[in-house]
Each structure stands twice: as C-alpha cells, then as structure tokens.
Structure 1
C-alpha cells in the first residue's frame, strides 16, 4: 500500500472518529438532559429521530457537494458546521430549537460519514481489506464509547459537555488537511440510484437497517432505561459505554469468522447473539452479568455491519461502490429513525423493559430474513 493511500485512510478514520464521538456523546447527552427536565419518553424519541432524519435528507445533496467542493473540503466543512451546531445547544431552549439542531447535526455528520466510508472501502482494496475494515469498525466503536464516558466526568448541566464535543471535532479534522488525492472519476457512467442499488443487494441494506434500529435505540435510550431502572446518571452513561466497548476487541474475531465461513451465516449468528442478549438485559439488570451482556449485544450488532461492509467491498466497485456506501448511510438513517421512535414508544407503552424486549423482537425478524437469504444463496449453482 503506497503512502498516499495510507494518508487517505488515516484521514477517513479521523473523520469517522468525529462521527462516532459526536454520536456517542450527543445521543445520550441530549436524552439525559431531556429526561432530567421531565420531558416524556415519546418526545425524547421524536427528538432523537430528528438526527437520522437529517441523515436521510443528506443523500440528496452529497453527490452535488462532492462535485462542487471536492471530497476533502466537503468533509472539513461538514465537521466545522457540525461543531457549530453542537456548541449551540446549551444556548437555546429545548423546544423547538433542539429539534432543528438534531436535523442539522444528522445532515452534516452524514456528509462526513458517507465520504469517509467511501474513502475507507476504496483505499482498503486488496489483501488487507478485511483487517483494515476491522480496524475501522473498532475505532468507530471506541469513539462511540468515548462519547458517553465523557458525560461521567462533565455531567449533563451547562455548556461544558457540548464544548468538549466541539473541541474534539476541531482536533479530529487536522489529519484531513494532509489528504492530497481527491480525484473524482471522470468517466461518463451514470451512478446508480439508491433504489437501483437496493435491488442488487437487498439483504445488505436490510442488515444495515436492523443494526441501525438497535444502535440508535440504545444510543438514545439505554441511559434513560438505566436511570428508570435505578441507576445514577453516571452509571447510566457507563452502561452505554459497555454497549459499544466490546466492538474495539470483538470485531477481529467476527471478521475472522466472515473470512472462513459464509458471510450470511455469520450475520445470522451475530443477529442471534444480539437478540438473545437484548432479551436477557431485564433479567440481569443490577447484577455483574449486565456488563458482559451489554458488551456482547453491542459487539455482535456492530458485527452485522462489519460483515455487510466487507461483502459490499467484495461485490461492488467504482460508481456502484460509491452508491453502496451512500445507500448504507441512507439505510442507517432510516433504521435509526425507526429505532428512535420505536424505543420511545416501547418505553412509554410498556415501561422501561419494553425497550430491550422490542429490540429482541426486531432481531427475530432479521434472523428469519437472513436465514431465508442464506438458504437461497446456498441453493444457487456455483
């Protein structure tokens, strides 16, 4: 791998760190603040849903932004705008400003994510792809875990946690300035639409959507769930850290399995473990077993995304690969929108334990669908 490809990969990983940290910090921070002010769970869910709504809306402008300004400028600009949104929260009232801010935050962060992930998949081509993608998902998970951990030190009152988030954004864009190669494909091939890509890889997009539902639901409501079950705010934030921490060490074994066994069956196994762990959360809450259960649940849910991304890189290239990463981002936004709303409704309708049981039911649907897909793939002639 030449030096320039390494620089591009490091720049992309830096941008993904921004994405992960802001998601990991802002989702629980805003939810905990709204919970502390007595805002009902349904409205917390509606507010959390504004972030993925912004992600979905961004798909319509990302190609134009890249063509107009170039990939590097687009990433740097999106990071600066995301930082401006984050530091604005504590200076405006919750209703209705924070709803608009969540849309803008999701919109700008999605530009970071879609471009950076396209960089990663493109420049990891070759024998090192799986290992690079494992490093990528591990760093993403670590940045997710770092966000809620900060809350344990800064608390949720005042502007400090928001200012910390803004400072990290500024620090993380520094490596991006070293990117030198921003060449855009110059051929006349017409890129696929998201719908056209979906017909080619429906199970991959479905897998991303299922992961996003669980991911967004827990990012938004796991701390709220833990507070309602008796944890302090600090312990509730660390519960979310446990949910994402396992990804930093468990993606490599999941990647190894995907290299040695059919990827669809690895996805099924990850889905079974995620759904089972979610179902067990109410039964082990308040015991030592909660922490490994949360860790395995988060790691195997993220493993579904890792395997889907690896298959995307193997099956697609060129314009189709770019469309695929944009489609993944869009599907994540749709799934996160559903997950945020479903989490709020489940807690409001069935009490705190409605959250983990609803997520277990969601993964039961995914498991059945993935098994059917794997069986169909196995029956196809080689």
Structure 2
C-alpha cells in the first residue's frame, strides 16, 4: 500500500466521537500509569530491592509492549478496534489489582508484563484511530491535545503518592477501580463513532520499519528518555538526598508543563516544518538531562525537569503527526504497532540501562547517559535529513 497524500483528506470532517473516545481512554490509563510507575519504583526501593532489579521490573513492562505488536494483526482481523480498547482497559485494571493484592516480586513481574501488553493495545489502536478520524489540516493540533491528555494523566497520578505513601497498596487498588469505570464510559461513547482503523498485518509492520526508519528512531529516543525520566530519575533523586515526596513531585512537574506545552507544539507542527520542530525538541531534551547533576537547588531542578519533559514528549507528538500525514489504511495500524515496538525497545533500554549505569557509576551517571544518548540521536537525525 502506497502512502496517500494528506491533501486528499484535508476536506474530511473529523470524527469527534472517535477522537474523544481515544483521548478519554488514553488519558485514563495515563493517570493510572503516572501513579503506578513511580509508586512501583519507590515501593521496591523501600523494600530494599536493588536499582538493577527495579530497572528489570520496568523492562517487563517494555517486553509486554513488544509482545503485543506480534498479535495485533491477528486481533484486529477478528475483533473490532473499539472492543479491543475496552478489553485492554479492563485488562490493565486487573493487572493493577494484582499489584494491590500481593507483594510477590515474581507476581509483580508477570503483572508488569501484562500491563505493558494491554497498554500497548490501547495506544496502538487508539493512535491509528486518532489519525484515521482526523484530517491533516488539524492533525498537529489534535495530536497535541492527545499528548496533553496523556501528560495531564501522568501529572495527576503521582499527586496521590504523598498521601498514600510508598508502602500502601491502596494506590494500586484505586487505579484498578478507576480504569474499570473509564472502560465502561469509553464503551458508551464509542456507540456514536463513524470511523474505525483498518486491519493490519505483521508484514505491514516490518515494512513500516523499512520505509520510515527516522520516525521509528524518533519514537525509540522518546521511549528511552521518557522511561528514564519517570522510572529511574525518582530513584536518582532519593539516592541524592531528596525525599520520596520530592521524587514523586518531580514526575508531576515533568508531566504537567508537558501537557500544557503539547497543544502549542501541535500548532507549531501545523505551521512550521515538522522535522525542524522534532530536531529542536530532541536537542532541548538532551541539554535538560545533561544539566540535572549540576543543579543543586530543588526549584531549579524542577524547572529544568519541566522543560526537559516538554521537549522529550514533543518527539512523540511530532512522530504521531508525521505518521498520519503520510500513511493511511492498514499502514496506520502498522505504524502505530512499529511505534509501540520501538517505544518498548527504547523504554527497556532507558530503564534497564539507566538503572545499571547508576548502580555501576553512581547516581549522576544516569541522567548524563540519557543526555548523551539524546545528543547522539539529534546528530543522527540531522545528518539523515541532510543526506
């Protein structure tokens, strides 16, 4: 299937019901993930689990993201996309209930894997649907609103950690109930949608890696930086003398300004060269990570973290916009699946490697390694575009 020019779809009417359903589902999961990602890390840290094992636990989530891509083609051929999203929200709810019900590390690894699997389904199908429901003239702004909802969810989740503490299972239980309620609300909203993503295949998935390597690499860089920021960095802050409340607050400060920034990034993507916006975002994120070990005042750390978060997440908003700009039909689902797989690999590297590097080289080695990795990506992206 050849890409269809975006201008062919510029006069199409947006399917606002589908757009709203996707944003609702993803925002709800982001609230739960924003709470549980740092809560899992901090809970394991409080139990005396090593940073390497904490990183490996997060890798279980990334492996689940990757595994979901292998079954996506078969599932979309047999089950309607809206039903898959609802089923995945319910699956995420059950996984979070497992975190609340047991303290077994082995069970947590299994639940983390399944959480990654169901989350991947939500994001892959939802993002393909978002692009199918949106004309290109609005694509950047809709992607920005989608990103804002996701980031706002991440920002809201950690606010409960200072109240619940890292030793309580109540946060996981609340998240499980919340996602179950949202799954029902999403199902009601989906009755009025007009569009649905087309089925894809594993062949389309691997073809996308061949025709769009820069987009795939952009998502890899985002995944690497994103998981390092929300999983490894809270541990970094605790190890450098900050409180658990500050570590949790850093995730909120990372996400909240990012949510505010994404609609403006979306507007820029609709008005400026999209690759230039992506390169600028990558450079700012790299510099933000590199600055962290050299900043001592907590307020300045949070300001740097806010700018860094907005820039890092903008990479994904750019990639999502450029996907819908160029591809249609089954290639939208294939592209979303390729993004999920690339994010899984990137997030696995960002979490596992950063945890191991911190264990071997000290806490400051974590943010420095992520910053240099993003600088390398920025240079490669600029060189590839020039070539």
Alignment of 1:98 with 2:92, yes or no, is: no
Alignment of 1:43 with 2:70, yes or no, is: no
Runs of 5+ unmatched residues, structure 1? 377-382
Distance 1:222 1:209 in 2: 18
Q: Name the structure 1 match of 2:338.
A: 327
Structure 2 residue aligned with 1:361, among 344, 350, 372? 372
Alignment of 1:256 with 2:267, yes or no, is: yes
Q: Name the structure 2 match of 1:120.
A: 130
Q: Name the structure 2 match of 1:221.
A: 232
Taking a change above 3 Å as real, the CA distance of residues 190 and 38 of structure 1, as seen in their structure-2 partners, is closer
Distance 1:244 1:102 in 2: 22
> Do the aligned residues in 1 keep the contact of 2:140 with 2:269 (CA within 8 Å)?
no
1:95-148 CA distance string (max 9 Å, x none) = 211111110110111111111111111111242222111111111111111122
1:237-287 CA distance string (max 9 Å, x none) = 001111112211212332333333322222111111101111111111334
Q: Name the structure 2 match of 1:380.
A: none
The RMSD of aligned alpha carbons is 2.1
Instruction: Within 5 Å, give how 1:70-85 maps onto structure 2.
Output: 70-85=80-95
Q: Name the structure 1 match of 2:20.
A: 10
Runs of 5+ unmatched residues, structure 2? 1-10
1:299-324 CA distance string (max 9 Å, x none) = 00011111111111111111212211
Distance 2:198 2:165 in 1: 50
Q: Which range moves more in the overlay, 178-187 or 155-164?
A: 178-187
Displacement of 1:356 in angstroms is: 0.6
1:122-180 CA distance string (max 9 Å, x none) = 11124222211111111111111112222122222232101111122123221332213
> Do the aligned residues in 1 keep the contact of 2:12 with 2:135 (CA within 8 Å)?
no
Structure 1: 4+ residue segments shifted above 4 A:
1-4, 181-187, 189-192
Displacement of 1:61 in angstroms is: 1.4
Distance 1:186 1:156 in 2: 42
Taking a change above 3 Å as real, the CA distance of residues 186 and 248 of structure 1, as seen in their structure-2 partners, is closer
DSSP-derived class of the 1:59 partner: helix
Instruction: Within 5 Å, give how 1:1-382 maps onto structure 2.
Output: 5-173=15-183, 174-180=185-191, 181=193, 192-376=203-387
TM-score normalised to structure 1 length: 0.93
Taking a change above 3 Å as real, the CA distance of residues 343 and 319 of structure 1, as seen in their structure-2 partners, is same
TM-score normalised to structure 2 length: 0.92
Distance 2:197 2:242 in 1: 52
Q: How many residues align?
A: 375
Taking a change above 3 Å as real, the CA distance of residues 192 and 184 of structure 1, as seen in their structure-2 partners, is farther
> Do the aligned residues in 2 keep the contact of 1:72 with 1:177 (CA within 8 Å)?
no
